[in-house]
Amino acid sequence: MIKTGLFLDLTFNRDTPQGWYLVDELGAEVLLPNKYCPAEAIEGDIINVFIYRDSEDRLTATTRVPKIEFNEFASLEVVATTSVGAFMDWGMEKDLFVPFKEQHRKLVEGEHAVVYLYRDEVTDRLLASAKISKWLEKTTVELGFNTEVDLLCFEETDIGFRMVVNQKFQGMVFKNETFRPIEIGDTLNGYVRLIRENGSIDLSLTPIGRKKVGGLAEVILNAIEAEDGFLPITDKSAPELIQSRFGMSKKAFKEAVGTLYKNRDIIIESNGLRKTQ
């Protein structure tokens, strides 16, 4: 049975006025409309397509790539709201429906929100949920201290920002450890600081310990190189300027600059930092 939400390699089986019917290894068919059919297609060719249901709820194949995939999280724009739910732009002809019961608060047209793409097993329809935490796993044994992870910010709280970690787990970046602006829907790299007994993860936006200084030093060195080898910022510069430019505290900046100086990567001048030749 061909399921919605999946990318499949299917075979061109028969040509019709509406388009080609594609077939899987078990003989199940799905229509690829004419506008997505390559002109040179012949029976027996194989094509990779995405499966979903069109505006008339018919199982359909397309070569378009959605902005979110099955069992994944992404930030999408709300394009319409109704009394029963909201609709989001996910890059397909038919907008993605978010039932009202799957909204943690009423979504507003024009805003972006992080959602999870799931399949209703009764109707085979693809739906989205804005109740992110309910879809995240609790087991985090595959993650160790200081492991680098991919983050997606889905909620701001009084103490920090809740993150989707590696498209599977839930974590938190605390505000008192954040030195750059963060908004809902931002994707970032982070590092595991602590895994709590409930499975939630405390996160850092920079590597921890000695590795942290090295990581920040590389950020500064890249910035110097981008400015043709000289950057008019020093450890005497205002903390606000350092935070705005590099997303780090003045203390972290001074440590990183010290590392670059000890490694003879830079020269500290009175009005800035210069890369050594």
pLDDT in tens, 213-240: 567 888 888 888 888 899 999 888 998 8
Q: Give the confidence band of 209 by pLDDT, cuts at 50, 70, 90.
A: low
Tokens of 81: 């709201």
Show which of 189, 204, 219 is a domain's final residue: 204
Is residue 2, in this structure, part of any structural domain at all?
A: no
Nearest CA-CA partner of 167 in 193, 183, 143, 146? 143
- Please give the pLDDT value at position 76: 98
A 10 A CB-CB count for 118 gives: 17
Nearest CA-CA partner of 23 in 34, 9, 35? 9
- Is 171 found in the same domain as 154? yes
- Is 96 found in the same domain as 53? no
Show which of 103, 133, 163 is a domain's final residue: 133
Residue with tokens 């199940």: 28
- Is 190 found in the same domain as 223? no
Q: Give the confidence band of 267 by pLDDT, cuts at 50, 70, 90.
A: very high
- Residue 53 β-bridge partners: 59
Cα–Cα distance between 64 and 90 in angstroms, integer? 11
- Please give the pLDDT value at position 141: 67
Cα–Cα distance between 79 and 56 in angstroms, integer? 19
> How far is residue 264 CA from its own chain's centroid?
37
Show which of 204, 224, 252 is a domain's final residue: 204
pLDDT tens-digit profile of 29-48? 999 999 999 999 999 999 99
Tokens of 84: 């029963």
Q: Poorest-confidence range of 178-182, 188-192, 194-198, 264-268?
A: 178-182
Is residue 143, in this structure, part of any structural domain at all?
A: no
Domain count of the chain? 4
Cα–Cα distance between 185 and 62 in angstroms, integer? 27
- Is 83 found in the same domain as 53? no
Nearest CA-CA partner of 77 in 91, 94, 93, 62? 91
Is residue 168, in this structure, part of any structural domain at all?
A: yes
Q: Poorest-confidence range of 31-35, 66-70, 89-93, 218-222?
A: 218-222
- Is 199 found in the same domain as 220? no
- Is 196 found in the same domain as 216? no
Tokens of 130: 């804005």
| CATH number of residue 251's parent domain | 1.10.10.10
**Strand (E) or helix (H) holding 254:** helix 250-262
Is residue 125, in this structure, part of any structural domain at all?
A: yes
Q: Which residues have CB under 8 Å from 168's CB, separation 6+?
A: 136, 137
- Please give the pLDDT value at position 195: 87
pTM, two decimals, is: 0.76
- Is 243 found in the same domain as 229? yes
- Is 127 found in the same domain as 88? yes
**Strand (E) or helix (H) holding 255:** helix 250-262
- Is 200 found in the same domain as 216? no
Angle of helix 250-262 relative to helix 239-246, nearest 10 degrees, comes to: 70
| CATH number of residue 18's parent domain | 2.40.50.140
Is residue 82, in this structure, part of any structural domain at all?
A: yes
Nearest CA-CA partner of 205 in 220, 197, 217, 216? 216
Is residue 171, in this structure, part of any structural domain at all?
A: yes
Confidence check: pLDDT of 165 > 70: yes
Q: Which domain holds residue 160?
A: 148-204
Is residue 257, in this structure, part of any structural domain at all?
A: yes
Is residue 111, in this structure, part of any structural domain at all?
A: yes
- Is 227 found in the same domain as 186? no
- Please give the pLDDT value at position 213: 52
- Is 155 found in the same domain as 199? yes
pLDDT tens-digit profile of 187-204? 999 999 898 877 789 998
